[in-house]
Structure 1
Amino acid sequence: HVHIHERAFSSDLLSKHNPLDVAFSIVEYTLRALKDKLMPIVMRSGGKVKVENEIDIKRVFTAPLSLHRKHDLCCVCFKPNAVDQFDISWANLESFRHDMSWKEYVEGEADSLAIEALAAVGGYRGWAEGVKEAKAASIALEEKPQAAKIGRFQVMALLQAARYYLLTGDLDKAKSFGLNRAIFYAWAKHHARDVKAALAAARARGAYKKEKEARGAKLIQVCGEEVFVTDSGWFTMGGVVQSPKDYDRQIALNISSAIPYEEAWKAAIEYLKSFPQSYLQDQQKFFNEVYKPVRDNFVDLVVKRKKSVHKTLDEIFKQFR
C-alpha cells in the first residue's frame, strides 16, 4: 500500500470535497500518470502483479502494525526510498522493523495534489446517485472475460423484494423487505442450522426486545415470515432500518456491475410468477423451492432462461431444420 497521511489534507479542503472523492481522484490521477512505467513491471510478473483504483467493502483496511489475517506477520511502514531494501523479515511479529516517521505530516501539504487530481478526475464514480462514467484505472494484463455472476446475498434480496412486490404491489417497501430478509438469512446461516433455530436463538438473547425498543419497531407476519417493522413502515433488524435507498446502494448497484438491474428485476418477477402464490406466502417453500435452486446461477438459470423463452416461431422452427 502507498499511504498519504490523512491530515496532509487541510480541513478547509475537506470541508469542500468529500474525502472519498479526494482519495479516489488522487489514486486515479497517479495511476494515469504512471501507467507507462507500471505496465512493464506488470508484464514481467506474468500478470501476478496488478495495480488498480478500486474501493470494495470486502477489502481489508490495513493500519500500521495490524496483523495479517493468515500469517504471523504485521504491517510495517517504511519510506519510499527504502522499498528496494525491503525484506519480509521486517514484518516478523517478534522482530519487526517499523519506521515511526509515517506519522510526520504538514497539514495542507497535499492540497495542491488533491485539487489538481479532482480537476482531472472529478471524484469518486461509485456514488449510487452519480452519473456512470468510464471504469477506474486498472494496470494489469488483459484477463479473459468472466461470466456475469450475482452473489447469494444479492439474489436473496432481489427475489425477496420481487416476492413482496408481487404480493403487495408496494415497490419501496419491497426493497426494504428484500434487504431485510437478505440480512436475516445471512445472519441465520452463521448462527443457526435453520430458520426456526435462528428465531429461537434471537429470542433467547433478547434480540426481539431490543428490536421492539429500537425506533418503535413491532413484530408482524408478512409473506409467511416474522419481521420487525418501524412506525415509518420500513423493515428493521438489529436496530438498523433497511430503507429503499439502502437497497439501491447495497443490492441494485451491486447487481448492475454484473448485468443491468432492470433486466435482473424483470427476470425475477417473471420467475416468481411461474410459482403458485402459496409458494410466495410460505417461508420454507420460498427458501427451498424458489431461492435455493437458483442462488448460485441466477443469471444463467433465470435471466438467460427468460431470454430464451421469448423466441419467435421462426427461431423455434430453425432449430429443427
Structure 2
Amino acid sequence: MAVGRFQVMAVLQAARAYVLGLPMESALSWGLNRAIFIAAAKRGFKGISLTGRDFGEAKARPEEQAVDIYRLGDDMAYKEVREGKLYFAIGGRVQTEEDFRRQVESRFQGAFAQAWEEALKIVRAQDPITLKSGRAFYDLVYRPLRDELAARWTRLGERGAEARAAEGVGRPRA
C-alpha cells in the first residue's frame, strides 16, 4: 500500500506537534486532524462540516473563554479531553491515536518507526519560528519534501513487507 501526501502531512504534523511539546497520543491526533483539515481545504470544505459550530465565532472569543480551542503556534483546532488525554476534532469527529494508526501508520506496512524517526529529524532541524507557523511549516517543510517522502516511505514499507514475507511472518505455521 502506497504512502501518499495525506500520510506524509499527518506524520510531519504529528512530529511537529510532538517536538512542540504535545504527548504522543495528542501529537498523533493533531497530525491526523491537520491532514484532514488541509485535504478538506483543498476541496473547498465540500462535504465536511468543520464542527457544526461557527469556527470564526470561536476564534473571535477571548482565549480564556474559548476552552474548546487549542492553539499550536498560529494553528488552531477544536479539542476534546477523553480519559485525561487531549485529542483534536474536525467535522464533529475526534481523531484518536487508533484513527492515526488505521489511516496513516498502516500504510507503512510495519516500517512506521523508521519513518517517524526521519520525520522527527526533519522537524527538529527547523527553527522555532517555522514550527510555530502553520503556513511556514507547509511551505518550507511539507511542500518541498512531500513527494520525496511519499516515495521513500512507500519503498520503506514495501521492503519491510517483503522481509516479513520472506521470514514467513504472518503465515500460518505448519
TM-score, structure 2 length as denominator? 0.71
Q: CA deviation at 1:270?
A: 0.7
Structure 1 residues 291 and 169: CA distance shift in structure 2, 3 A: same
Poorly superposed stretches of 4+, deviation over 2 Å: 205-209, 299-304
Equivalences for residues 257-272 of structure 1 within 5 A: 260-272=111-123
Who is 2:21 aligned against?
168
Q: Which has the larger radius of gyration?
A: 1
Equivalences for residues 37-76 of structure 1 within 5 A: none
- The secondary structure found in structure 2 opposite 1:297 is helix
Structure 1 residues 242 and 202: CA distance shift in structure 2, 3 A: closer
Gaps of 5+ in 2: 59-66, 156-174
- Corresponding letter in the other structure for 1:269: L
- The secondary structure found in structure 1 opposite 2:40 is helix
CA distance in 2, matches of 1:249, 1:297: 23
Question: Could you tell me whether the CA contact under 8 Å between 1:164 and 1:223 is conserved in 2?
Answer: no
CA RMSD between the two structures: 3.2
Who is 2:75 aligned against?
225
- The secondary structure found in structure 2 opposite 1:289 is helix
- Corresponding letter in the other structure for 2:77: V
CA distance in 2, matches of 1:187, 1:202: 9
Is the aligned partner of 1:244 residue 2:91? no
Equivalences for residues 1-321 of structure 1 within 5 A: 149-191=2-44, 206-208=53-55, 218-232=68-82, 233-256=86-109, 260-299=111-150
CA distance in 2, matches of 1:262, 1:159: 13
CA distance in 2, matches of 1:274, 1:302: 19
Question: Could you tell me whether the CA contact under 8 Å between 1:157 and 1:182 is conserved in 2?
Answer: yes
Q: Residue by residue, what CA displacement relative to the aligned partner does 1:53-111 show, whole Å, maximum 9, x if unpaired?
A: xxxxxxxxxxxxxxxxxxxxxxxxxxxxxxxxxxxxxxxxxxxxxxxxxxxxxxxxxxx
Gaps of 5+ in 1: 1-147, 193-200, 212-216, 305-321
Report % sequence identity.
Answer: 31
Number of corresponding residues: 143
- Corresponding letter in the other structure for 2:148: N
CA distance in 2, matches of 1:300, 1:250: 18
Structure 1 residues 303 and 168: CA distance shift in structure 2, 3 A: farther
CA distance in 1, matches of 2:125, 2:33: 24
- The secondary structure found in structure 2 opposite 1:226 is strand
Structure 1 residues 231 and 299: CA distance shift in structure 2, 3 A: closer
TM-score, structure 1 length as denominator? 0.40
The structure, 1 or 2, with the larger RCO (C-alpha pairs under 8 Å, 6+ apart) is 2
CA distance in 2, matches of 1:274, 1:301: 19
